[in-house]
Chain A
Amino acid sequence: MNNAPAPSEITPPELYARRREFLKTSIGIGLASAVLPAPTFATPAKLGDGAKKSPFSTSEAQTPLKHVTGYSNFYEFGTQKEDPAQHAHKLKTRPWSVTIEGLVKKPVTLDIESILKLAPLEERIYRLRCVEGWSMVIPWLGFPLDILLKQVEPLGSAKYVEFLTAVQPETMPGVRSRVLDWPYVEGLRLDEARHPLTLLVLGLYGDILPNENGAPLRIAVPWKYGFKSAKSITTIRFVEDEPRSSWMKAAPREYGFYSNVNPDVPHPRWSQAKERRIGEFMKRDTVLFNGYGDQVASLYSGMDLKKHF
Chain B
Amino acid sequence: MPIALLKFVVFMLSLLPLAYYGWGAWHDTLGANPIEAVTRGMGTWTLNFLLITLAVTPLRKLTGWHAALRLRRMLGLFSFFYAVLHLTSYLWFDQFFDWGEIARDIIERPFITVGMAAFVLLVPLAATSTNWAIRRLGGRRWQALHRTVYAIGILAVLHYSWLVKADQSQPLLYGGILAVLLGLRAWWREVERRDQLAGKYQPKIRNRIIPIQPSD
Q: How far is the CA of A180 from the CA of B167 in the complex (A)?
A: 9
Partner of B109, one of A71, A82, A134, A269: A269
The interface-forming segment of B29-37, B117-125, B147-155 is B29-37
Q: Give per-residue flags for A48-61: 1 if the beta carbon is below 8 A from chain B beta carbons, else 0.
A: 00000000000000
Residues of B within 8 A of A132 (CB): 165
Most buried by B among A75, A79, A177: A79
Residue-wise, chain B 33-44 has the 8 Å CB interface mask toward A (1 for contact) of: 101100000000
Question: How many B residues touch A, CB cutoff 8 Å?
Answer: 21
Whether B162 and A269, one on each chain, are in contact in the complex, defined by CB atoms closer than 8 angstroms, is yes
Q: How many A residues have CB within 8 A of the partner chain?
A: 27
Contact partners of A269 in chain B: CB under 8 A: 109-111, 162-163
Q: Which A residues are in CB contact (< 8 Å) with B110?
A: 269
- Check A276 against B32 for contact (C-beta < 8 Å): no
User: Which residues of B are found within 8 Å of A279, using beta-carbon distances?
Assistant: 32
**Given A179-B167, A269-B109, A269-B111, are A281 and B32 neighbors across the interface (CB < 8 Å)?**
no
Contacts of B195 in A (CB 8 A): none
B166 at the interface (CB under 8 A from A): yes
Q: How distant is the Cα of A180 from the Cα of B168 in the complex, in angstroms? A: 12
Q: Which residues of B contact A278 (CB under 8 A)?
A: 32-33
Q: Which residues of A contact B31 (CB under 8 A)?
A: 67, 70-71, 81-82
Tell me, yes or no, whether A29 is within 8 Å of chain B by CB. no
- Set B35, B105, B108, B109: member contacting A281, Cβ < 8 A: B35
> CB distance A276 to B166 under 8 Å?
no
A134 in contact with B36 given A71-B31, A283-B96 (CB within 8 Å): yes
Question: Which of B35, B104, B165 has the most chain A CB atoms closer than 10 A to its own CB?
Answer: B165
CB distance from A243 to the nearest CB of B (A): 19
Residues in chain B near residue A180, CB distance under 8 A = 166
Number of A-B contacts (CB under 8 A): 54
Name the residue on B nearest A71 (C-beta): B32
- Considering the complex, which residues of chain A in the window 251-288 have a beta carbon less than 8 Å from any beta carbon of chain B? 251, 266, 269-271, 273, 276, 278-279, 281-283
CB nearest to B165 among chain A residues? A132
With a cutoff of 8 Å between Cβ atoms, the chain B residues found around residue A283 in the complex are: 94, 96
| A79: B residues at CB distance < 8 A | 165-167, 169
On chain A, the residues within 8 Å of B109 by CB distance are 269-271
Q: State in angstroms the CA–CA spacing of A283 and B35 once bound together.
A: 11
User: CA–CA, A266 to B94, complex, Å?
Assistant: 16
- Separation of A180 and B33 alpha carbons in the complex (Å): 24
Q: Restricting to B158-172, which residues have a CB under 8 Å from any CB of A?
A: 162-163, 165-167, 169
With beta carbons under 8 angstroms apart, the residue of B36, B96, B167 that contacts A282 is: B96
- Expressed in whole angstroms, the minimum distance between the Cβ of B19 and any Cβ of chain A is 21
| Interchain residue pairs A-B with the least CB separation, the first 3 | A71-B32, A67-B32, A79-B167
Other than the known A70-B32, A269-B109, what 19 A-B pairs have Cβ atoms closer than 8 Å?
A: A70-B31, A71-B32, A71-B33, A75-B166, A79-B165, A79-B166, A79-B169, A81-B32, A179-B167, A180-B166, A251-B166, A271-B105, A271-B108, A273-B101, A276-B33, A276-B35, A278-B32, A281-B35, A283-B96
